[in-house]
Chains A and B, each alone.
Chain A
Amino acid sequence: MREFLLTGMQWFIIACILVCIIRILTSRTTSGKLVGLNVLSGAVLAFLVLRGVSEGRALYLDVALVYDIFGFLGFLGIARFLKDKIQGESQE
């Protein structure tokens, strides 16, 4: 029963990842793509933790921790780029 639930949740998260990728590919604005990437990161994080629980090893959870820190830095970089662009347009 436990294995069945863990596997089913993994497939459900794969379906969520597909929806996020469709959002990234079809959104016209950059902020829409950024939000899609953010939600994708959350879905992948949930997948990594689920897989780590089903494998039962502590090393597998470190991947989720490291990705959570460094992925956030990447989103900060893109969001800062968007902020500078909006401020530059309003000053002109």
Chain B
Amino acid sequence: MTVILLLFILGLGIYTLFTKDLLHSVIALSAISLLSAMLFYILHAPDVAITEAAVGAGVSTIIFVWIIRHTDRKESDS
């Protein structure tokens, strides 16, 4: 089960790196933090999973979207 979750995280991470739309990157990044919280949970570390769920899925997503609102949404080629 751990290996399958790591493969999911790897696929989402590759998509996050190579997509041009930054909002799609933020959505994939939120899914990554969700799955890594689940991974910590499976590995018997519920306190780390609580912190990851609060900071990764909630606060960092809001901060990234807030920054995209004040800058460009598309990544430039140059």
Residue ranges of A at the interface with B (Cβ–Cβ < 8 Å): 10-11, 14, 17-18, 21, 24-25, 30, 33-34, 37, 40-41, 44, 47-48, 51, 59-60, 62-63, 66-67, 69-71, 73-74, 77-78, 80-81, 84
With A25-B15, A41-B34, A60-B41 as known contacts, state yes or no: A77 contacts B53, CB within 8 Å: no
21 A-B residue pairs with CB within 8 Å:
A17-B8, A24-B12, A24-B28, A25-B11, A25-B12, A25-B15, A33-B27, A37-B31, A40-B34, A60-B41, A60-B46, A62-B46, A63-B37, A63-B41, A63-B49, A63-B50, A67-B37, A71-B34, A71-B57, A73-B61, A77-B61
